[in-house]
Structure 1
Amino acid sequence: MIDLSKILITLGIILLVVGLFIRFVGKLPGDIFIKKGNVSFYFPIVTCIIISILLSLIFSLFGRK
């Protein structure tokens, strides 16, 4: 039963973090946006790095026994 509670807490935190980042996607400094004519390219590199760091911290906290 303890494993189920950890999974639910982790999923809740992940959903909260994703919800917060949806508001800021494209607005962080370092995200790449190039528009030339009819072609546009967008890559949220800083957003991806921050999400990766946060998920690593969350999973390391809940991964300990």
Structure 2
Amino acid sequence: MPKMLILLGAVLICAGLLWIAAERFGVTLGRLPGDIVYERGNIRVFIPLATSLLLSIVASALFWLMNR
């Protein structure tokens, strides 16, 4: 259990650093190319396709690494 908590902490630190780096380059999670935003009047529909795909790939890679 302690090794898993250390690994989880390291993953969270890396995710935080990547988040900061992405914001500096103008890429923010939820505003990626491929995310659909439909606005008309007072209705706003947001469909995060690219964000969902990216998070799915990252989560799959992490789970794959943890099972090795």
Instruction: Give the structure-2-normalised TM-score.
Output: 0.68
Amino acid of the structure 2 residue aligned with 1:52: S
Unaligned runs of 5+ in 1: none
How many aligned positions are there? Answer: 61
Residue 13 of structure 1, CA deviation: 1.3
Moved over 2 A (4+): 14-17
Identity of aligned residues (%): 28
Partner residue, 1:13: 11
- Bigger RCO of structures 1 and 2 (CA < 8 A, at least 6 apart): 1
Unaligned runs of 5+ in 2: none
Q: CA RMSD in A?
A: 2.4
Alpha-carbon distance between aligned partners in 1 of 2:65 and 2:41, rounded to the nearest angstrom = 46
CA contact (8 A) 1:25 1:47 kept: yes
Alpha-carbon distance between aligned partners in 1 of 2:9 and 2:60, rounded to the nearest angstrom = 14
Instruction: Give the structure-1-normalised TM-score.
Output: 0.70
Residue 26 of structure 1, CA deviation: 3.1
